Structure 1
Amino acid sequence: MPIKTLNGASASDPARPDSGGRGRGTASRWTGAPVFAAVLLLAPVLLHLVSADLLTPLLLWTAAASLIRSRTSLLDRLFISAAVLVGWICVLGLIASFWPWGLDPLALAETTALALTGVRVLRGAPDDSARRRTRRNLLPARDVPVLLTSAFGFAFFLRPLLHRDAVDRLALVITSEDLGRHFALYDSMIRFSGYLALRADDAARTIQEGVYTYPPGSHMTLAVLTSFVRGTDAPAAPLHALSLFILLSTAVAGALVAFTAWAVRWAAGPAVAARFLLPVCLAGGVWVAVVELPRLVLTGFLSEIFGLALFAVFLALAVRPLSRTGEQLVCMGAVFVAIACSYYLLLPATGLVALVWAWAHRRRWLRQIGRTLLAAAAAGVLALLPIAANWASAGSASVLTVPGAVYPVSRHLLYPVLAVAAVLLLGRGARRNPSARVAAGCLAATGLLAFGIREYQMAVAGQTSYFFEKMMHGLFLATVVTAGAAVGPALLAASRRARPAGTGVLGRLAPAVTALVATACLLAALLMNSQPDLAKDSGWSSSAGRVYLRAQSAHPRIADQVTAIDRARPKDDGKVSMLLLGDRVPTDPARIEDNLWLGVLSRDQGLSWRAWTFALKGRTGQEIVDFADQSAVPLRIYLSDPELLAQVRQAARTGHHKALDVVMVTFEGHRAELAPQRLG
């Protein structure tokens, strides 16, 4: 006999559709809709007048969560609606690229309020049973493990940042080359009010050639949040904008931990007791936060982290769908669009997961074939837009063998957990559970995709490279999420066999103590295995989590030099700055990335990226003058070596060069003394 949860859902068939309140008449659609619309339309204006725009997205997020009528708790609705709103923001960014208001927070809020009001009218008012379920499930005990894991994830990643100023935050990310480009994309979207693929002429100065068509979902989402944080769409000073961006992009890492914990709990099922969920959710969250994710954060893979968080939600919805088919179609379609716009490298895995869900639940969506085709068509068209924008650089299979710098997933943790999850999902109890069957299909699909790319790379290039490791990140997350579905039947059986606690103090404490002991054992095992597989070869002397938490990757002196020169350089004179300070050796990534960060702070990376490439290694005076002769833009070069300055002077006397400014730089602590030496 199926086990009934507190809200009436069946544990053995969580996707059982309900009536959805059909047949209530047209009048019920308007019940409460005027009040709903009035609040959403008037509140952003009032909050804007009192400079409290930051409360507006919270209001809109809550309103979006209230529109979900499937059997869920409030926390479930908040997680699902957050992912859906990211898909909406991707569409809203396209609209904002054409209208005259840009990313003005009031315009964004009013448009979102109108869209939510339209959905509210179409959905109708919730029936009395739905209202009772909502009041009864505001915060069930099974949500507590998710909240605890989420708090840990945000605290872990934000702790090194909160007590630091803008320069110290730059010091933490100075070696994250990719993050510098992500900031340039984000900052340019704010400055030019829309997608850069539609602002190619403006982006030519601020963004490196070929980068402005990069999937913009994560940057647009952070840009929209920034407009609400600041209460305006006017760009901030570069260093202040960078400081806020580092904080927001790091919060994305905390969000990935939270979404992973929620997806694990959702996949495990609504009938599993909280004390059994605690070790599973915390173990999954700590594995992500401490073992794998810090390496992605330290290398600046913002869009991938953002996309993985959305992928976790998509996996969860595929494994255990919402009880209403229409809501399931809309939510999966919106998250699919969000993944395509944010990190479409995950689209093949996402598409396979969607096919697994569609086959397993074909009877449900075939009964609503019209809605299904409409949702699929809308999601497909919107998902193709970022792919079409990048087709010239990403439309060939040869891209799959392109090399790149990426740290591998910890195989010694992934493979054992993958094997255990696969065995559990093939067991008798799991085969009789619809969610476990879908989870097995999703895990198999993502695994076959990852190892299929491995075989392709081995056949074509003779070795694995960048994109195989990226696919392994997707397989890692799929393993964590589907592990929740794998252990779900066992945890449910344990919940059914658990005896009621005794009346004494020890009897009441026994379940909590057991859960805490199991959690401690799992976390200890994870932390002891947080060391990467090849620490020496991968460049890590200790676990990435320890490196991040202790800020061992910070380079405050380089950050001081970059920001000091940015403050002292002449502004708006048409010259591009190039730094040739210190020893330019590839083994010192902090030193050779100084030009990248000066370029994004100068907002001229589209012009300065060639100078960044030139300065990745040491140069002679003659090479410097020759490069200045060939440069399409006039240069200002900052040197700290008197001997190199003498070489430049000598080469300048005999050459036919353009006007070239050379600035001698000496540093004392945090202060830079600049001595201009104009040549030519």
Structure 2
Amino acid sequence: MAASWVLPVVLNAVSLDVVLIPVLVLAVASLLRVGGGLLDRLVVASFVVCGSVMAFGLLFSVWPWGLSPVPMMGFLLTVVSLVGWLTGRRPHIPLKLRGSDVLVLGTAAVVWKYVHHPLVGKSAADRIAYFATAEDRMGHFSYFDGIHHVGGYNFLHQEAARTYMMTPAEAVYPQGTHFLLAWIDVLVKSSTDGGAALGMMNRYLLYVMAAYALFCAALVWAARWVGGPRLRGWRTAAVCATVLSVMLSGSMAFLVEKGFDSETVGLLFLTVALALLLRPAMGRAEFALVGVAALVAVTFVYNLYGVLVGIALASVLVIHRRRFAARRGLLLGALAAGALVAGLPTVFSVLTKLDVAKTSNLAGPMVIPDRPVLIGCTLLVLVAAALPVNRRTATGRTVLALVLGAGLVLTVFGFWQMHTIGYLSYYFEKLAAGVLVIALISLGMVGLMLLPGERTKGPLLRRRAERLGLSAVATAAALSMFAGVQWGVPSGWSKPSAWYDSPMVKWAKGENGSDMGPAANLLTKRDLKGVTTPVIALYSNDSYHNLKSTFIAQLLTHQGGNMVGLYEIFYVKIGGPAVPPKDKEKPADKDKTEAEKAADREKEYQSSLGHLKTAIASCPAPPTILVGDAKVAERLRHDLGSAGVQATVVDAPFPSS
């Protein structure tokens, strides 16, 4: 108990609070009795820690110390100490390692190498080109920034949070991801002060990239866990490498580019939660703890996936009803309490500002799971689960129930969208990604259908060498079949392999970055110095460029919510030269006379001016407008002044102008 407080105080004094994260994970791991290997124990402990941090975050959000490192970590370590004392468990961590741990850890390392590669050697401002590939990530950062400043969940500090994010996000959007990352960031910084926004953006980008790498590794681990102790040797390598290959070459890598940060973290927790529920190889106490952590972690991060956890949990309780018959009431009571806590943010948002029907049919950029992989893996899992040998096992029956239940939910949701809006939209594909997770982790059971072959006789070293060789060949085969890796063999058409066309490789090459680097450099090094008002950055005649430049400017000044009319900038197509060079003319203007072109430009200017006025009116104070072209700046200064619109127009020349 004393160490629970002394250690945070000492580490905070030397700015090493981040060390408390592994300390907390190891402390929890030492009291759990799940998994016979070190990696399994650490995965479960990390999952429980994340769920606990998000749940206790409700307390941290309202107590007087906010996210201060010492009180938070002292409290969490005290809880672990009390649990150890009350249960009488002595700390114990298994040190056993498995050969396939290399595939799990290797997945995280390889994916991290690819997603992080474009950032290597770039300045903080230049990295914004990869931070701002989509406005979704900028929105997610604003929630993260808000939690840093208000000291807890934004929905519990709505009035203060509106400064940092566009309303009504402070009340309706799930904030588990942003709270968890803010908690990590506070420990990394050893302070509740996140510092300059540019540094915060860079750290946030690294966190979400690490989350994607962990998501891919978690899928590999989960498939192995579902396979259980019978899945060994080359069969383990074949299953793990297949899952790795799908994630390396498939469309899910677009999650990084599209800025779907909450979905990424939600899929990460969904993966671990479903694996542990499909094969609950643990006692009642651990099952209750894992079940509550699954409900909280998944629902707080991405409540859409709470439905899949609910199906899995209900299936487990029915299929394992005899196993959990003793003290069933206590178990159900703990799970009911967990469900109540898990549902609090969602219920709060529904009762305040969330229109569920309208939100469910939202349109937007989508990351579409590869249909052949989704359909093929699901059908393969159904075949394996339906075989008599697997129907006799609890894991086989649970997998079958989960796949059928999730498929039914996805089908009903798809039909509902087709009936109401006529097409499959944004959230259908997100739910489909959850079904893909189920299919991939259930491949562990499919791996059991592979014949292990006769055991090799002879010296131990020889047997291990043979298993290693077979596993290496199985891994290479999976990477070739499912990731398009040709191992240096030239293609028959003298073209690069399909691997080089995958979204992850293109991201690693820097092909999918945004054009926000120059704007970020101007904003951070020149145009925002001394500016405290809301900022509108019109560096270009490209309206989307202006929108993202303005959004970045708002975030860099910690004012992500002060311009309610931010998306009016999407219709502002001025800021660059009033008369674009011939080589930048629109194709439709090539055959027009100069008079017609001038008339079109004037019409576009007046339309843009109207939207700009609307955006200015939404600001809590007269904004600063940065304009990339001097002549356009002068005209805007005159026209806004003549209309009585208060704003400071600044000539901010842009390199391309």
Q: What is the alpha-carbon distance in structure 2 between the residues aligned to residue 234 and residue 102 of structure 1?
A: 12
* 1:481 equivalenced with 2:445 (yes/no): no
Task: Report the RMSD for the aligned CA atoms in angstroms.
Answer: 2.6
Deviation at 1:251, TM superposition (A): 0.7
Partner SS, residue 625 of structure 2: strand
What residue number does 2:568 align with? 613
Counterparts of 1:147-162 in structure 2, within 5 Å, are 147-162=105-120
Deviation at 1:318, TM superposition (A): 1.4
What residue number does 2:493 align with? none
- In the alignment, is the contact (CA less than 8 A) between 1:144 and 1:274 conserved in 2? no
Partner SS, residue 167 of structure 1: coil
Q: What is the alpha-carbon distance in structure 2 between the residues aligned to residue 57 and residue 554 of structure 1?
A: 32
* 1:86 equivalenced with 2:42 (yes/no): no
Q: 1:251 aligns with which of 204, 210, 216?
A: 210
Partner SS, residue 365 of structure 1: coil
What residue number does 2:359 align with? 399
Deviations 1:311-341 (A, max 9, x none): 1111111111033012101111112111111
What residue number does 2:613 align with? 628
Counterparts of 1:18-29 in structure 2, within 5 Å, are none
Partner SS, residue 26 of structure 2: helix
Deviation at 1:398, TM superposition (A): 4.1
Counterparts of 1:424-463 in structure 2, within 5 Å, are 424-463=384-423
- In the alignment, is the contact (CA less than 8 A) between 1:621 and 1:651 conserved in 2? no
What residue number does 1:535 align with? none
* 1:317 equivalenced with 2:276 (yes/no): yes
Counterparts of 1:104-503 in structure 2, within 5 Å, are 104-126=68-90, 135=94, 137-213=95-171, 214-391=173-350, 392-488=352-448, 490-491=449-450, 494=452, 497-503=453-459
Q: 1:511 aligns with which of 440, 448, 467?
A: 467
Deviation at 1:615, TM superposition (A): 4.0
Q: 1:663 aligns with which of 630, 650, 655?
A: 650
- In the alignment, is the contact (CA less than 8 A) between 1:174 and 1:594 conserved in 2? no
Deviations 1:331-378 (A, max 9, x none): 111121111111101111111111111111112223222321321221
Specify the code of the residue in structure 2 equivalent to 1:628: K
Deviation at 1:618, TM superposition (A): 1.0
Deviation at 1:572, TM superposition (A): 7.0
Partner SS, residue 229 of structure 2: coil
Q: What is the alpha-carbon distance in structure 1 between the residues aligned to residue 464 and residue 179 of structure 2?
A: 49
- In the alignment, is the contact (CA less than 8 A) between 2:571 and 2:608 conserved in 1? no
Deviation at 1:161, TM superposition (A): 3.0
- In the alignment, is the contact (CA less than 8 A) between 1:409 and 1:473 conserved in 2? yes
Specify the code of the residue in structure 2 equivalent to 1:173: F
- Inter-CA distance 95–567: structure 2 relative to 1 (3 Å threshold): farther
- Inter-CA distance 62–508: structure 2 relative to 1 (3 Å threshold): closer
- In the alignment, is the contact (CA less than 8 A) between 1:44 and 1:110 conserved in 2? yes
Counterparts of 1:29-44 in structure 2, within 5 Å, are 37-44=1-8
Q: What is the alpha-carbon distance in structure 1 between the residues aligned to residue 408 and residue 225 of structure 2?
A: 24
What residue number does 2:549 align with? 594
Specify the code of the residue in structure 1 equivalent to 2:255: L
Counterparts of 1:557-576 in structure 2, within 5 Å, are 558-569=516-527, 575-576=533-534
Partner SS, residue 366 of structure 2: coil
- Inter-CA distance 624–182: structure 2 relative to 1 (3 Å threshold): same
What residue number does 1:22 align with? none
Deviation at 1:97, TM superposition (A): 1.3
Q: What is the alpha-carbon distance in structure 2 between the residues aligned to residue 327 and residue 408 of structure 1?
A: 35
Bigger mean CA deviation after superposition, 174-183 or 383-392: 383-392
Bigger mean CA deviation after superposition, 328-337 or 162-171: 162-171
What residue number does 1:60 align with? 24
Q: What is the alpha-carbon distance in structure 1 between the residues aligned to residue 86 and residue 120 of structure 2?
A: 43
Specify the code of the residue in structure 2 equivalent to 1:416: G
- Inter-CA distance 592–501: structure 2 relative to 1 (3 Å threshold): farther
Partner SS, residue 298 of structure 2: helix
Q: What is the alpha-carbon distance in structure 2 between the residues aligned to residue 636 and residue 612 of structure 1?
A: 17
What residue number does 2:489 align with? none
Partner SS, residue 54 of structure 1: helix
- Inter-CA distance 570–311: structure 2 relative to 1 (3 Å threshold): closer
- In the alignment, is the contact (CA less than 8 A) between 1:175 and 1:590 conserved in 2? no
Partner SS, residue 329 of structure 1: helix
Deviation at 1:289, TM superposition (A): 3.9
Specify the code of the residue in structure 1 equivalent to 2:314: L
Deviation at 1:219, TM superposition (A): 0.6
Bigger mean CA deviation after superposition, 44-53 or 372-381: 44-53
- In the alignment, is the contact (CA less than 8 A) between 1:637 and 1:662 conserved in 2? yes
- Inter-CA distance 508–400: structure 2 relative to 1 (3 Å threshold): closer
- Matched pairs, number: 610
Partner SS, residue 579 of structure 1: strand
Deviation at 1:302, TM superposition (A): 0.7
- In the alignment, is the contact (CA less than 8 A) between 2:128 and 2:520 conserved in 1? no
- In the alignment, is the contact (CA less than 8 A) between 2:8 and 2:73 conserved in 1? yes
Deviation at 1:507, TM superposition (A): 6.5
Specify the code of the residue in structure 1 equivalent to 2:466: A
Q: What is the alpha-carbon distance in structure 2 between the residues aligned to residue 529 and residue 616 of structure 1?
A: 44
Specify the code of the residue in structure 2 equivalent to 1:631: A
Q: What is the alpha-carbon distance in structure 2 between the residues aligned to residue 632 and residue 272 of structure 1?
A: 60
- In the alignment, is the contact (CA less than 8 A) between 2:271 and 2:437 conserved in 1? yes
Partner SS, residue 409 of structure 1: coil
What residue number does 1:32 align with? none
- Inter-CA distance 308–651: structure 2 relative to 1 (3 Å threshold): same
Partner SS, residue 166 of structure 1: coil
What residue number does 1:75 align with? 39
Deviation at 1:564, TM superposition (A): 1.9
Specify the code of the residue in structure 2 equivalent to 1:599: Q
Q: 1:102 aligns with which of 66, 91, 94?
A: 66
Deviations 1:4-39 (A, max 9, x none): xxxxxxxxxxxxxxxxxxxxxxxxxxxxxxxxx444
Deviation at 1:309, TM superposition (A): 0.9
Partner SS, residue 540 of structure 2: coil
Deviation at 1:145, TM superposition (A): 3.0
Deviation at 1:529, TM superposition (A): 9.8
Specify the code of the residue in structure 2 equivalent to 1:115: V
Q: What is the alpha-carbon distance in structure 1 between the residues aligned to residue 567 and residue 536 of structure 2?
A: 7
Deviation at 1:631, TM superposition (A): 0.9
Deviation at 1:116, TM superposition (A): 0.4
Partner SS, residue 536 of structure 2: strand
- In the alignment, is the contact (CA less than 8 A) between 2:384 and 2:445 conserved in 1? no
- In the alignment, is the contact (CA less than 8 A) between 1:580 and 1:637 conserved in 2? yes
Q: What is the alpha-carbon distance in structure 2 between the residues aligned to residue 190 and residue 412 of structure 1?
A: 42
Deviation at 1:504, TM superposition (A): 10
Deviation at 1:422, TM superposition (A): 1.3
Deviations 1:110-149 (A, max 9, x none): 00011101211222124xxx96xx55x5223353432333
- In the alignment, is the contact (CA less than 8 A) between 1:176 and 1:300 conserved in 2? yes
Task: List structure 1 segments (4+ residues) > 6 angstroms apart after TM superposition.
Answer: 504-507
- Inter-CA distance 664–274: structure 2 relative to 1 (3 Å threshold): same
- In the alignment, is the contact (CA less than 8 A) between 2:277 and 2:316 conserved in 1? yes
Deviation at 1:215, TM superposition (A): 0.9
Question: Identity of counterpart residues, as a percentage?
Answer: 25
Q: What is the alpha-carbon distance in structure 2 between the residues aligned to residue 274 and residue 590 of structure 1?
A: 52
Q: What is the alpha-carbon distance in structure 1 between the residues aligned to residue 204 and residue 533 of structure 2?
A: 26
Bigger mean CA deviation after superposition, 263-272 or 630-639: 630-639
